[in-house]
């Protein structure tokens, strides 16, 4: 090998991250592996709720949350539906935790000098 090739190889290897460095980074908010394994084995791992549709009629309001139709005042996964608007659903959780599911994220545009 030429001296130039060895120098290039050393430079290339120095740019690579050391092996195992990502394994040292732990997420402190993640439950311990034993708890996750138990929940997965028992099938009790909670799935996040997802709002996929909203139907508003003069007599009723209905939301499709994680594939289930839920009326105003109905419950899903321990949460009670407290409000249904055209783009959001508000939920009240078991320990009075409030959650808001959005159908779409609002698009915010910056106005330019001409006002458009």
For every one of its 116 residues, what pLDDT tens digit does the chain have, with 9 covering 90 and above? 566 677 777 766 676 666 555 555 666 676 666 666 666 666 655 678 899 999 999 998 999 999 999 999 999 988 999 999 999 999 998 888 899 999 876 666 666 666 55
Domain spans of the chain?
51-102
Note the pTM of the prediction, 2 decimals: 0.53
Model pLDDT, residue 95: 85
b/e sequence 21-55, b meaning 16+ C-beta within 10 Å? eeeeeeeeeeeeeeeeeeeeeeeeeeeebebeebe
């Amino acid at each position: 090998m030429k001296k130039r090739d060895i120098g290039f190889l050393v430079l290339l290897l120095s740019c690579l991250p050391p092996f195992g460095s990502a394994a040292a980074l732990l997420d402190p908010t993640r439950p311990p592996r034993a708890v996750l394994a138990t929940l997965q084995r028992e099938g009790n791992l909670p799935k996040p709720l997802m709002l996929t549709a909203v139907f508003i009629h003069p007599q009723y309001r209905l939301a499709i949350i994680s594939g289930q139709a839920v009326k105003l005042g109905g419950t899903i996964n321990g949460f009670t539906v407290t409000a249904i608007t055209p783009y959001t659903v508000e939920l009240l959780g078991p320990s009075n935790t409030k959650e808001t599911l959005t159908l779409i994220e609002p698009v915010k545009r910056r106005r330019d000098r001409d006002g458009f």
